[in-house]
Structure 1
Amino acid sequence: MKPVTLYGTGVCPYCDMAERLLASKGVANLTKIRVDLQPEQREHMMSITGRRTVPQIFIGELHVGGYDDLSALNRAGKLDALLAD
């Protein structure tokens, strides 16, 4: 399974929902970057995604977007293939 990186904050319900969805898919290799604790990481996140909101989720090197995007991929049956090695 590919590694997943989630840029989020400590008080973000969409971040929590994204983590739960990924856990339900068996993702064990999740790196969570707290942009509320590391402002320089928010700047980095914005520079690589063009977005200010959290969560911002990467599967491997692929930016899939936020929770709504992740959930849409799952509903369309495409998330499992993205997570697979």
Structure 2
Amino acid sequence: MAQQFVNSKLRANKVVVFGKTSCPYCHKAMDLLKKCNLTSEHLEYCDIATQSDMDDIQDYLLKITGARTVPRIFFGQKCIGGYSDLHALEEKGELIPILKQIGAL
């Protein structure tokens, strides 16, 4: 179930943030991504705290990304990491070019 849930969200031209509403870094990640003017078609926030199998989802995220912490941010099928990784891309001026490259902008 967890694998199906995660994989059903991932698309080539989409940014997906798996997080929890109680996580301040999840909110920071979404705020930063919203500043990029992504449309709702290309940006999705998945609050895993609302899922009955939240622990299984985090275990699956650990399996495919190497971490079970949130946020787990995917650009297309690839996990770029968490908020600090996203912020680093923005600081280096790489965020917008990557979003354009995957077709999210």
Give the TM-score of the pair, scaled to structure 2: 0.73
Matches within 5 A, 1:1-85: 2-28=13-39, 29-38=42-51, 39=54, 40-84=56-100, 85=103
Distance (Å, rounded) in 2 between the aligned partners of 1:30 and 1:22: 8
More strand by share: 1
Q: Is the 8 A contact 1:5 1:32 kept in 2?
A: yes
Q: Which runs of 5+ in 1 are unaligned?
A: none
Q: Is the 8 A contact 1:33 1:41 kept in 2?
A: no
Distance (Å, rounded) in 2 between the aligned partners of 1:37 and 1:47: 21
- SS of 1:46 mapped into structure 2: helix
Q: Which runs of 5+ in 2 are unaligned?
A: 1-12
Higher-Rg structure is 2
Give the letter aligned to residue 24 of structure 2: P
Give the TM-score of the pair, scaled to structure 1: 0.89
More helix by share: 2
Distance (Å, rounded) in 2 between the aligned partners of 1:19 and 1:77: 18
The share of aligned pairs that are identical, in percent, is: 37
State how many pairs are aligned.
Answer: 84
Distance (Å, rounded) in 2 between the aligned partners of 1:37 and 1:26: 26
